[in-house]
Structure 1
Amino acid sequence: MLQGSAIAAGEQFSLSAVRCSHARAGFDSPEVERAHVLVAVRRGAFLRRVDGGEVLVDAALAYLSAPGTVEEFAHPVPGGDVCTVIRLEPGLLAELSGGDPDVRLPAVPMDAASQFALRRLVAAARRGDPDGTLAEDVVRLVAGLLARKLPARAGSGRPATAAARSRIVNQARAALAADPRLGLIDLSRVTGCSPHHLSRVFAQLTGSTVSQHRNQLRVSLALDRIAQGEPDLAGLAHDLGFADHAHLTRTIRAATGQPPSACRASLSETR
């Protein structure tokens, strides 16, 4: 019996979990894939048949499928299996794979570091992405896996010169200064750089990830408005791109050691 459940959705990607609870030695009826999906096993294993070739997919092996792919599955391992499915929009996949929106990979190695990154990503998604890093984590994981199989294509478009890297980072920072709600994929459009390359270059030149830098800006803007007496913290959270009032409060407390109410008292310039 197959069960699927959504975990999280972001711009140009979504995460879900698929569980097979019963072993079945024979292959099921053929299925036609409708989306670009990266499928990684978290527990157990299953057989996948495509174009007459069979591959046992376990925790050490993921695969990337594309719309129109005809697949058959068998679940011979006792105890069933649990998979994480990352659905990617064609535009994002093309940016991560050197421009090919229909790349298909029947076998992508998953080492221990990749498995840890996948599980950490899923855990953060189930928590509601409290740190706003989900897009960066998805891009980093998928791009890293593609680079193992397609190193030349995955590396295409990387800014080659120091001047180009500096220009891209400055463009991204300027865009965030204008609108601290922008995410990694938004910024990749602004800079004309792949989300993966932008993420790496930004961290190399600034020492912070895009999400960390964005959070610093949002906290600064929040403190400025709190100092001016902003009474509507829920509205402030919305304006600055926080998930909700509680998210704003947690972030400010983590940054300053005080909740917004205490910050207001500390920053007030009137008696």
Structure 2
Amino acid sequence: MTSDPVATLDTATVGDDGDVRVTDVRCRARAAPAGAAEAGPLRRLVLPLRGVFSCVAGGEEMLLEPGSGIVLEPGEGYRFGHPVDGGDQCLVLAAGEAAWAELAGPSGGLPAGRRLVLAPPDLLRAVRLRTADRQAVPELAALTLGDLAARGDGHPSADLPPSRRRVADRAAEFLAVHYAEPLPRLLDAAAAAAGCSPYHLARAFRAAYGVTLHAYRERLRTAAALRALAEGADDLATLAVSLGYAHHGHFTRRLRRALGAPPSRVRDALRPPLPASPR
């Protein structure tokens, strides 16, 4: 997502049945604060797959990274920025009022302008949307939206003092850049980047993001692993090391714990369907 005038934005429709549309949005941008407000004609669920961006909604600025999401209201202006270089990639699930109400419930199911937290299976499904048969994408998107709405709002406390929110966000920005590095003292390194003590950061980060720093890093690694597996990564040992794991076995255990399956099986599930043979 972007309001940066020097950023480049590429969009591609992944699936559209007239009621639900899924778009792959890739933004290449340098680090920049939130820019001018942007609005869209449809209510949409934004699911980051790569990178990190900020969104200002209702006067509150929040960070969105893989494993999180946000619902944007139609006609409402939102401001987007990038705390670090590199831009981002998101899947955007958009639907009209009638379709959204049917999928997410009469009340909308998910609060707009609030940071949502996805479980690993939700993230797997989001990545799978990019490789699924085009005709199946709207159905998978509808299931994703319905499941998130049924589970309710995963947003951590919004009553956090601004000073604690700032140090938590600085640590999240640090992790967005360094999540694949095997840092032996993650809490100390993140606290130095945030400008506070490790113990203050540990409390502030969990209050702001609902998870520990290590769990947050693991979610970023899982997202990166899913992207690589969806793109056909075959050398799992090399992939494990590139994500900061000590070895292939460590990577396998972590992914199995998150998704209930080893990397090879996840890769097979994410592969694009083979074209139908002519009869």
For normalisation by structure 1, the TM-score amounts to 0.51
- Given candidates 77, 84, 87, the residue that maps to 2:84 is 77
- Cα distance between partner residues in 1 of 2:109 and 2:47: 19
Q: Which residue of 2 aligns with 1:67?
A: 74
* One-letter amino acid of the counterpart of residue 95, structure 1: E
Cα deviation for residue 150 of structure 1 reads 5.7
CA distance in 2, matches of 1:114, 1:102: 16
2:83 match: secondary structure: coil
- Residue 78 of structure 1, CA deviation: 2.2
Offset from partner CA, 1:138-185 (integer Å, 9 cap, x none)? 12111111122269xxxxxxxxxxxxxxxxxxxxxxxxxxxxxxxxxx
Q: 1:142 aligns with which of 145, 154, 157?
A: 145
Which has the higher relative contact order, 1 or 2, with Cα contacts under 8 A spaced 6 or more apart?
2
Gaps of 5+ in 1: 152-246, 254-258, 261-271
Aligned length: 152
CA contact (8 A) 2:109 2:149 kept: no
**Residue 3 (structure 1) shift:** 2.3
* Aligned match of 2:107: 100
Displacement after TM superposition at 1:20 (Å): 1.6
Are 1:24 and 2:27 matched, yes or no? Answer: no
Matched, 1:109 2:117: yes
Asked if 2 retains the 8 angstrom alpha-carbon contact of 1:38 and 1:85, the reply is yes
| CA distances 1:16-38 after superposition (whole Å, capped 9, x unpaired) | 11112122321111112321111
Greater mean alpha carbon deviation, residues 134-143 or residues 101-110: 101-110
Q: Distance in 2 between matches of 1:103 and 1:146?
A: 5
- Give deviations 1:53-99, integer Å, cap 9, x for gaps: 01101112101111122210111222211011111121111012321
Q: 1 CA distance for matches of 2:139 and 2:40?
A: 26
| Structure 1 equivalent of residue 95 of structure 2 | 88
Question: In 1, are the aligned partners of 2:16 and 2:138 still within 8 Å (CA)?
Answer: no
What secondary structure sits across from 2:130 in the alignment? helix
What's 2:21 paired with? 14
2:44 matched residue in structure 1: 37
Q: In the aligned structure 2, how far is the partner of 1:138 from the partner of 1:128?
A: 11
What SS does structure 1 have at the residue aligned with 2:131?
helix
Offset at 1:108? Answer: 1.6
Instruction: Tell me what 2:251 maps to.
Output: none
Matches of 1:134 and 1:73, distance apart in 2? 27
| Alignment match, 1:3 | 10
- TM-superposed deviation, 1:111: 1.9
Aligned pairs for 1:236-247 (under 5 A) are none
Shift of residue 102, structure 1, vs aligned partner? 9.2
Displacement, 1:107?
1.6
| C-alpha deviation, 1:12, in angstroms | 0.5
1:128 Cα offset (Å): 3.0
TM-score (norm 2): 0.50
Q: Is the 8 A contact 1:91 1:101 kept in 2?
A: no
What's the RMSD between the two structures over aligned residues? Answer: 2.5
Residues 23 and 80, structure 1, Cα contact 8 Å, conserved in 2: yes
